[in-house]
C-alpha cells in the first residue's frame, strides 16, 4: 500500500508539472511586461482610433511576432482584454544589462507627452527600438537631437478594431515594410548606421519558443487525461505486483 501511495504521489506531481510548465515558458518567450506610466505617452505604430497617446496608467507589453531583424510589439490594457497598439520594432543592442525593465523616450517640447523610443526586457542586453511614420520621426529627431527609425510604407495608423493575429494583413505589411532612420539634420540613413543588431546566437535563443504549440483547434486536456490514465494504470500494476510478492 505504501508503494501504491508513493507511485500515485509521483503521478500527481508529474501531472501538475505538465499543466503548469508551459505557461511560464510562454511568458518568457513573448516577454510579457507590466509597465506603469506616470504621465501621458505618445506611441508609434498602428493604434486604436483615439489612442495615439496613452494616458497615465498601467499597460502590458508583449511580443506578437518575432523575426531575426524585426519584431511586432503589442500594448494591452492592464486586464489584457484590449489591444491599444501594434508596433514595428527593430532589435537594438546595448552593452549594459539590468535586472529591471527599461523604457526610453524621445525628448519632446515642454507640455507635450513623451514619445516612446525603446523597450528593454530585464536580463537582456538588447531591446526593441520602435519605428514611427516618417513625418513623426522627422519631428522627433529634431527635438530629441537623436536619430529616429521610420517607415514610408502605406500602413494605416488608426484602426477601429484591435489586431489580434500575427497573420492579420496590417501585421504582414509591417513585416515587409522598409525601415530607415532620420538624423536631426533631416538626413536619411540606413538602419545599420544607427542600430547595432544583437549577436545571432542571442536572437536565436530569445526569439524561438521553448514549447511546441498545438494547432489552434487542439486542446491539451485530452493529452493530459491520457497521461493520467497511463500513470494510474502503472500504479495499479505496481500494486498488483506488490500483492503477489506478499
pLDDT (tens digit per residue) in 164-220: 888 999 999 999 999 999 999 999 999 999 998 887 766 554 444 433 333 333 344
- Span between the terminal Cα atoms of the chain, in Å: 11
User: Strand, coil or helix: what is 36?
Assistant: strand
How far apart are the C-alpha atoms of 88 and 76, rounded to whole Å?
Answer: 15
Contact present, 179 and 151 (Cβ < 8 Å)? yes
Cell of 47: 493604434
Confidence of residue 240 (pLDDT cuts 50, 70, 90): low
Cell of 216: 489552434
| pLDDT score recorded for residue 47 | 93
Amino acid at each position: 500500500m505504501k508503494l501504491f501511495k508513493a507511485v500515485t504521489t509521483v503521478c500527481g506531481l508529474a501531472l501538475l508539472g505538465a499543466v503548469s510548465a508551459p505557461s511560464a515558458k510562454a511568458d518568457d518567450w513573448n516577454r510579457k511586461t507590466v509597465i506603469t506610466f506616470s504621465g501621458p505617452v505618445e506611441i508609434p505604430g498602428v493604434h486604436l482610433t483615439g489612442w495615439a497617446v496613452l494616458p497615465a496608467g498601467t499597460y502590458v507589453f508583449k511580443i506578437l511576432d518575432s523575426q531575426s531583424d524585426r519584431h511586432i510589439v503589442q500594448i494591452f490594457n492592464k486586464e489584457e482584454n484590449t489591444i491599444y497598439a501594434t508596433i514595428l520594432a527593430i532589435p537594438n543592442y546595448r552593452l549594459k544589462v539590468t535586472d529591471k525593465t527599461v523604457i526610453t523616450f524621445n525628448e519632446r517640447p515642454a507640455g507635450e507627452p513623451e514619445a516612446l523610443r525603446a523597450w528593454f526586457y530585464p536580463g537582456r542586453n538588447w531591446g526593441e527600438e520602435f519605428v514611427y511614420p516618417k513625418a513623426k520621426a522627422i519631428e522627433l529627431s529634431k527635438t530629441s537631437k537623436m536619430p529616429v527609425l521610420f517607415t514610408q510604407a502605406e500602413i494605416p495608423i488608426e484602426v477601429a478594431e484591435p489586431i489580434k493575429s500575427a497573420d492579420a494583413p496590417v501585421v504582414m505589411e509591417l513585416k515587409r515594410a522598409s525601415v530607415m532612420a532620420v538624423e536631426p539634420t533631416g538626413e536619411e540613413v540606413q538602419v545599420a548606421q544607427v542600430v547595432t543588431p544583437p549577436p545571432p546566437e542571442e536572437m536565436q535563443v530569445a526569439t524561438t519558443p521553448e514549447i511546441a504549440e498545438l494547432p489552434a483547434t487542439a486542446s491539451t486536456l485530452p493529452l493530459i487525461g491520457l497521461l493520467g490514465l497511463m500513470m494510474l494504470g502503472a500504479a495499479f500494476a505496481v500494486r498488483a505486483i506488490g500483492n503477489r510478492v506478499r
